[in-house]
Amino acid sequence: MPMKEKRPEKEQIAWILDYLPIGHPDDKHHGYQKKPLVQAIGEKRFVLMEIHTEEEISPVTTEKIELKTAKIRQIRRIAYKDLTNGSQKELPYVIEKIVHENEERFINFFNTAYPLTTRLHMLELLPGIGKKLMWAVIEEREKGKFKGFQNIVERVKGLHTPERLITHRIEEELKDDNIKYRVFTTPLRHTKEKDTPIRHKRH
C-alpha cells in the first residue's frame, strides 16, 4: 500500500515559463475579454500553474513571482499537456535553475535516499543511475555527507552533472501523470494506489 499523502504545501514562489499578454491562444473569448496570463512552475513542489494577472503586471521582465505579494486575479493548476510550446521548451532550463538555487535541498536527496523495495533504491529513479553508481554513491556518503553537486562529481566516479539527473527526473514526473513513484512533485489528482509519493527522511 502507498504511504498516505500529506496535504501538499502551497507554493509561495512561481518561476515563469511563458507570458501571454492577451491570454491563451486556445481561449475562445473575444479579444477585449482576454486577460494577461502567465504559465509558471512552483519552486517547492514543481506545481504547474496558470496565473491570471492584473493588467499592470509585466512578468516578462522577471524570472519569478512571489504569489502572496503579486497582483493576481486567479491561479489554476494545470497538467504538462496544458503547457504552451514555449512553456514546454523553457521547462527544463527553469527546473535546472530551481535545482541550482536550492542546491542544499537536492544534495539532501543524495545523502538520505533509501531503498523503496528489496530490488529498487530511490537513487535508481534518477535517469542514468544503475546498481553500480547507486552503490558508489552509498559507499561515498558513508564516509561523509556530500556538501554540494561538485563534491558528488569529485567523489563518485562516473556520476556527472547530478543536477541534470534531478532535472530529468522532475521532468519525467511532470510529464507522466501515472508515474509509480514521486520523489519531487505532487500528483495533479488525488493519489491512488499506483502513485507512491515518497517522503524524504530528515536527519
Maximum Cα interatomic distance, the chain, rounded to a whole number of Å: 63
Q: Is the pLDDT of residue 197 over 70?
A: no
Distance between CA atoms of residues 196 and 44, nearest Å = 18
Query: What secondary structure letter does DSSP report for 20?
Result: E
Residue range 180-194, pLDDT digits in tens: 999 999 987 654 444
Q: Is the pLDDT of residue 3 over 80?
A: no
Residue range 22-50, pLDDT digits in tens: 766 665 554 545 678 899 999 999 999 99
The CA-based dihedral angle spanning residues 112, 128, 102, 10, taken in that order and rounded to the nearest 10 degrees: -80
Residue range 65-86, pLDDT digits in tens: 888 876 788 899 999 999 999 9
Distance between CA atoms of residues 52 and 21, nearest Å = 10
Residue-level pLDDT at 168: 97
- Choice between 64 and 15, residue whose per-residue pLDDT is larger: 15
Provide the mean pLDDT of the chain.
85
Confidence class for position 4, pLDDT limits 50, 70, 90: very low
Q: Is the pLDDT of residue 103 over 90?
A: yes
pTM of structure: 0.83
Q: Is the pLDDT of residue 5 over 50?
A: no
Residue-level pLDDT at 83: 95
Domains and CATH numbers, the chain: 13-83 (2.40.50.140), 102-197 (1.10.150.280)
Distance between CA atoms of residues 146 and 149, nearest Å = 8
- Choice between 108 and 7, residue whose per-residue pLDDT is larger: 108
Residue range 125-157, pLDDT digits in tens: 999 999 999 999 999 999 999 999 999 999 999
